[in-house]
Amino acid sequence: MQNELNVVGIQTDLVWENPEQNRIVFEDKIHTLHNIDLVILPEMFTTGFTMHPEKIAESMQGITISWMQKMAKKHDFAICGSIVIADDKNYYNRFVFVHPSGKINTYDKRHSFTLAGEDKVYTSGNSKLIVDYKGWKICPLICYDLRFPVWARNTENYDLLIYMANWPVTRIKAWDTLLKARAIENISYTVGVNRIGKDANDYVYSGNSLVVDYLGNELSSLASNEIGLVKATLEKVAQNTVRKKLGFLNDRDSFDIQ
């Protein structure tokens, strides 16, 4: 088990439906990083939150997956984010976690954002993912999933909860409040990485990415519309000590998700 995990989330604007240019932007920022274990990118980080997957969807053997594997191997860290994937005649808003070895874990967004019609063009996932990385159990979720606490409930004793998003500025208070709520109720480090800028649909995003600890305290945050990084060193022993002392997770309700 590795006690400390150095994580960084990259907050920036996204070039609309232009995977190549977005990869260049992120690669430039990645090359400035040192002594990092995990890099977290926003939701649909190569395209923005598009409802036109037929234009830009990639396969799991596509350029972006290969690029992620290249970055992970070159810098000896894990890298993750969601991209638009075409798989078996369906489109997915798919989270991809790439280990330094090139190994891949995936999670398909469960809660489709019906307000934007995501449910009409993307197939929802039905399985929760827990990634085992350097002895840390990591639970990745995507944007709208944040509003559904049952899906995030820490029944697996995970150590880190991650949300990547294209979360609009009009509802940014909910983003900040719910990230801290998920951290507190699950006694888990929680990282939220959001984009900034305006997309082709004139939706405006302010970022407000942050890292919070297992008690909801901010460890790192970015101001609205700021290009930059949220960085923190997470300590597993400290989190486990608080969990054992408080015992809140022992009193969890049991339930089945349908």
Question: Which residue among the candidates 118, 128, 139, 143 is catalytic per the annotation?
Answer: 143
Q: What percent of the chain has pLDDT over 70?
A: 100
* Residues 216-225 pLDDT 10s: 999 999 999 9
Q: Is residue 131 situated within a structural domain?
A: yes
Structure confidence at residue 256 as a pLDDT band (50, 70, 90): confident
- Give the CATH number of the domain where residue 126 resides: 3.60.110.10
**Is it the case that residue 1 has pLDDT exceeding 90?**
no
Does 231 fall in a domain?
yes
Does residue 189 fall inside a structural domain? yes
The yes-or-no answer on residue 180 being catalytic is: no
pLDDT band at 198 (very low <50, low <70, confident <90, very high): very high
- Is 257 inside any structural domain? no
What pLDDT is recorded for position 181? 98
DSSP 202: -
Establish if 213 belongs to a structural domain: yes
| Alpha-carbon separation of residue 190 from 9, 60, 117, 241 (angstroms) | 12, 27, 28, 17
* pLDDT value at residue 254: 86
Q: How far is CA 165 from CA 14, 139, 206, in A?
A: 12, 15, 11
Answer whether residue 256 is part of any domain. no
Residue 104, domain member (yes or no): yes
Q: CA-CA distance, 142 to 107, in Å (whole number)?
A: 9
Residue 240 in this model has a pLDDT that exceeds 90:
yes
pLDDT score recorded for residue 257: 87
Using one digit for the tens of pLDDT, what is the confidence trace for 4-29?
999 999 999 999 999 999 999 999 99
- The total of structural domains in the chain comes to 1
State the catalytic residue, choosing from 17, 58, 109, 236: 109
What is the overall mean pLDDT for the chain? Answer: 97
Distance CA 171, CA 110 (A): 20
Per-residue confidence (pLDDT) for residue 166, from 0 to 100:
98
Which pLDDT score is estimated for 258?
82
The catalytic position among 43, 80, 118, 128 is 43
Within a domain: 120: yes
What is the token pair recorded at 91? 């489109």
* Structural domain for 135, as ranges: 4-251
- Does the annotation count 43 as an active-site position? yes
What average pLDDT does range 92-98 have in this prediction? 98
Whether 185 is catalytic is no
pLDDT band at 56 (very low <50, low <70, confident <90, very high): very high
**In angstroms, rounded to a whole number, what is the distance separating the alpha carbons of residues 254 and 233?**
32
Residue 255 has pLDDT above 90, yes or no: no
